[in-house]
Chains A and B, each alone.
Chain A
């Protein structure tokens, strides 16, 4: 008995130590970047690894915000994220609600159509041509509308709506509610927690999206922050020669500061939404 207790304790100790190491691996690279963004160029050159800079310097940030480009691109990212997320939430929730209710004819067929889009897609070029034919290139619609509904989120949300008790809808009907009223006054308030999760997922997707603006927004005036981040960090790297030599190579701390700026909104909301999303991931995917 004592022997198994010892084995147990050493198991726990090793497990906890390993998990601490894994946590550090997850967070240290980013912490180093945050710290480096506040360090002076000189300290970075001398010490290389800086977790707590000796001299705090806001030079990199001052440089970023001395020019309109990055602040403007952040405003654009905010705009795309807010508008895109609203479109996502409205369209996903009303479609999911309609498909969850028995009154809708042909809902099995529509569900099949939606599930099938998860299995097969036309690929990048036909999608690009559709956006182009609709005249959406170089408009912000192009980065919001082609992603208006995620089939996966739609399925999860529908499962959630279907798990609401049928009596709820019946009693609403007896009280004289039509489906619109039921949806707005009863279903939405009941699903605030899961709505918040979907809102987070959609918002993070919009904020982090690189491909859509890269494909559909040709004018640098319209670029969100992710594309500028690429310009500053990757295009200006001098490790290889084939990219634009005309771009000035920014200092390490400037690159680091740009990364921090581009992740700032997510880091700001993360603590608030953290407790919700675990539940959200599991909505509809694991029963019981």
Chain B
């Protein structure tokens, strides 16, 4: 029987047969993976391809393929627009505020929780500080409005009671960035402790014993034992945070900005919504979105590269 085939053909045929056999044997895995692959292709990769309309004059009538190519026109318009400076400044400032004022909070909170000896109390505090994470941004905005409004909001009532003037927190440029940062801290800081606490629970207790014998107090132990041990977790979360630098979240900001504070609060996401969905300038707003995504990609790859170079693991 072997004489009928050359060796190579036989191997090829057998390999093909093996492949088919293999696929048949694992057919459920292929069936399982197909819907997911289609999901990512349709809802993630087609939109990635869809960014070509940033280089075209997209009209719904002609569709993506037929619309005219216009090169960098929309980007030129964006970079010459005064709004661009405003959006860029707002995005960077709000992100920086979050990096500076939000990022360290979960670490500090986790360090504090880690020092609690009474298990019941620790669990109680955890239960309470996780709750805000489960409120939607609309609810968070709602709570902010109810508390800060000049019409009977408790904060302003307190200010007038203490002899001060009412402050229009909600409709004023001066307050929007602070409010957004405080909202983020209030909603996410407790939740953010989970990963740090997990990392801390993995620290070898002998290290604390050794530090104690060397005469280290509680602060010293935190600084010289706990923090170095959770460094890789901190670095990973920092990379993720920097990777999200341009993604401030549409929901939070859209629910907080209004005519009075949009000069300081408008960011790329909210602007894209207004220009694109509301005004129907699809190509121009896609160009803005693409600019944002590219900067985001560079930031996450860059911070990951830096983390790896400084001897940390990085996320990929």
Complex contact A15–B26 (CB within 8 A): no
CA distance A97 to B115 in the complex (A): 39
Chain A: minimal CB distance from B131 (Å): 6
CA distance A61 to B116 in the complex (A): 41
Complex contact A7–B217 (CB within 8 A): yes
A160 within 8 Å of B by Cβ?
no
Chain A: minimal CB distance from B59 (Å): 12
Q: Tally chain A residues at the interface, Cβ within 8 Å.
A: 100
CA distance A153 to B302 in the complex (A): 24
Chain A: minimal CB distance from B211 (Å): 12
CA distance A45 to B154 in the complex (A): 10
CA distance A258 to B297 in the complex (A): 39
Which among B40, B47, B277 is the interface contact of A122 at CB below 8 angstroms? B47
A188 within 8 Å of B by Cβ?
no
Which B residues are in CB contact (< 8 Å) with A107? Answer: 33
Complex contact A49–B26 (CB within 8 A): no
Complex contact A18–B171 (CB within 8 A): no
Which residues of chain B (108-143) have a CB below 8 Å from chain A?
A: 109, 112-113, 115-117, 121, 124-132, 134-139, 141-143
Q: Tally chain B residues at the interface, Cβ within 8 Å.
A: 101
- With A98-B30, A274-B127 known to touch, is A121 a contact of B25 (CB < 8 Å)? no
CA distance A209 to B255 in the complex (A): 13
Q: Which residue of A lies closest to B290 (CB)?
A: A123
**Stretch in B5-13, B80-88, B95-103, B144-152 touching the partner:** B144-152
Dominant secondary structure of chain A at its interface with chain B: helix
- With A22-B109, A258-B142 known to touch, is A239 a contact of B293 (CB < 8 Å)? no
Complex contact B289–A123 (CB within 8 A): yes
Which A residues are in CB contact (< 8 Å) with B142? Answer: 229, 233-234, 255, 258-259, 262
15 sample A-B contacts, Cβ–Cβ < 8 Å, listed by A number: A15-B115, A19-B121, A32-B154, A48-B157, A91-B35, A95-B37, A97-B32, A98-B28, A101-B29, A105-B23, A122-B49, A122-B290, A125-B272, A126-B48, A259-B146
Q: List 12 extra interface pairs beyond A128-B276, A239-B168, CB under 8 A.
A: A26-B186, A36-B146, A117-B44, A119-B243, A121-B48, A122-B49, A123-B272, A123-B286, A239-B171, A263-B139, A274-B130, A286-B233
